[in-house]
Structure 1
C-alpha cells in the first residue's frame, strides 16, 4: 500500500500544488510509465515480476509501481473531474479496462507479462473509483457511506483475498512434468533455427 500512497501523492502534487491540468499530468505520466518499462526491458531483457531476483530489478519494479499508481490516480481524477463522468461510471469503465487484458490473454494470445502490467495499471483508478463512490459525498456522485467505513470494509476484503490465495495457493504455477518441459524447450529451439 506504500506504492499507492506515494503514487497518489505524486499525482495530487502535480495537479494541486503545481496547477498542471489532469489531461497534461495523465499524458506525462503515461509517457514516463512507458519510458520506465522500455528502460527496464532494455537493461534486464524482461518485465516479469517472477524474475525480480536482484536489487536492480527490484528498483525497476518499484519505480514502475510508483509511476503506475501515479498514472492511475491522474487518470482516475481526469475521468472523474475533467470528463465529469463521476465515480460510478468511471469505475465501471476502469473495471472493463481491468478485465480486457485477461480476455486478451485468455482468448487472443496477449503476452502474459503485458496482460499483467496492463491490468495492474488499472487497479488504482478501478479501486479508487469504487471507494470514492461508496464513501464520497452525494454532491460528487457518492453514496456517503463514509470513507472510514469504506476503508475498513476494503481492508477486511483485501486481507480475506490475500489469505485465500496464501492458504489455497490457487495462484501458484502448476508443477510441470520435466519431460514435457524438456520437449517444449527442444521444440522452441528447433523452431528458432
Structure 2
C-alpha cells in the first residue's frame, strides 16, 4: 500500500468512531429515540407516515452530506446522522407496514430486500462491505444508505415481534426486548470467542440494536393497558436526547482506525 493511499484510508476511517461498548450504548439510545421521535412526528403531530418520512429524508440527506464533507470524525455530526437514520427508518417502516397495507411480515420482506440490494450493489461497486472500506464519498454514501435500511429493517422486525395486529407475533414489548437482547448477546459471544467475520457480526449487531430500541421505545410510550409505561412521546424523546448528548459529550470516544474496523 502506497503512502498516499494509506493516508487516504486513515483519513476516511477517522470519520467514524471506534466500535466499543460506548458506541453500542449510544447507538441503542439513538435507536430508541428514533422510535419515540418518529412516532411523535407522525402520530402525535398527526402528520402521517408519508409526510414524516419526507421531513426526515430531507434531514437525513442534509446530515449525510455534511458528514461526507467533514474532514475528520465529529461525534456530534456522526450521531446526529445516526439519529436521522433511526427516525427516518421508523417512519419508512411504518409507511410500509401500515400505509401500504402489507402488514409487518410484508414490511420486513420489503425492507430486507432493500437492505440486501444495498449491500449487493455496495459489494459489486467496492468489492467489500466492510466499514474499513469507507475511503471515498461514494463508499460513504453506500455506508449511510445501508445503515438507513438496517435501521428500517430493525424497526419492522421489532414491530413484527411485539405487535399483535397486522400479522404481528404478539409477543409484547418486554419479550421483544428480551429476544433481541439475547440475540445481541449471541453476536457479542461470537465476536469474543470465535473467528467469525467481523464485518458480518458488525452488521448483525447494527440491525439487532434497532428492534431492541424499537421495542424499548414502544415500551416507554405505549399505554399501560398495552404493556407500556405511557410516557409522552415528546417527553420520552427529550429524555433520550439529553442522554445521547451527555453520552457524546462525556463518554470517551475516539476515531476508528483501519485495524480497529476490520
TM-score range, shorter chain: 0.7 to 0.9
Alpha-carbon separation, structure 2, partners of 1:3 and 1:174: 24
User: Does residue 130 in structure 1 map to residue 216 in structure 2?
Assistant: yes
CA contact (8 A) 2:114 2:149 kept: yes
Q: Report the equivalent of 2:70.
A: none
Which residue pairs with 1:60 in the alignment?
142
* 1:156 aligns to 2:245 (yes or no): no
1:40-189 to 2 correspondence within 5 Å?
Answer: 40-81=122-163, 82-165=168-251, 168-169=252-253, 172=256
Q: 1:20-56: per-residue Cα shift (whole Å, max 9, x none)?
A: 1211220222232123212212221222223312121
Which residue pairs with 1:37 in the alignment?
Answer: 119
1:139-173, Cα deviation, whole Å (9 max, x unpaired): 211012332332222222222332344xx346756
- 1:69-104 deviations in Å (ceiling 9; x for gaps): 111111111111111111111011111222322211
Query: In the TM superposition, what whole-angstrom CA distance separates every residue of 1:168-191 from its partner, at most 9, and x where no partner exists?
Result: 346756999xxxxxxxxxxxxxxx
Instruction: Give aligned pairs, total.
Output: 174
Q: Which runs of 5+ in 1 are unaligned?
A: 177-193
CA contact (8 A) 1:99 1:119 kept: no
Residues 22 and 77 in structure 1, CA contact (< 8 A), matched pair in contact too: yes
Counterpart in the other structure of 2:108: 26
Name the TM-score, length of structure 2 as normaliser: 0.60
Point out which structure has higher relative CO (alpha carbons under 8 A, 6+ apart). 2
Alpha-carbon contact 2:104-2:160 (below 8 Å) kept: yes
CA contact (8 A) 1:98 1:126 kept: no
TM-score norm. by structure 1 comes to 0.80
The residue number in structure 2 matching 1:6 is 88
- Inter-partner Cα distance in structure 2 for 1:24 and 1:131: 22
Deviations 1:91-149 (A, max 9, x none): 11111222322211111212111111110011221112112212221121101233233
Specify the alignment match of 2:80 in structure 1: none
Counterpart Cα distance in 1 of 2:205 and 2:103: 25
Write the distance in 2 (CA, Å) between the matches of 1:171 and 1:59: 19
Instruction: Could you tell me which runs of 5 or more consecutive residues in structure 2 were left unpaired when the two chains were aligned.
Output: 1-82
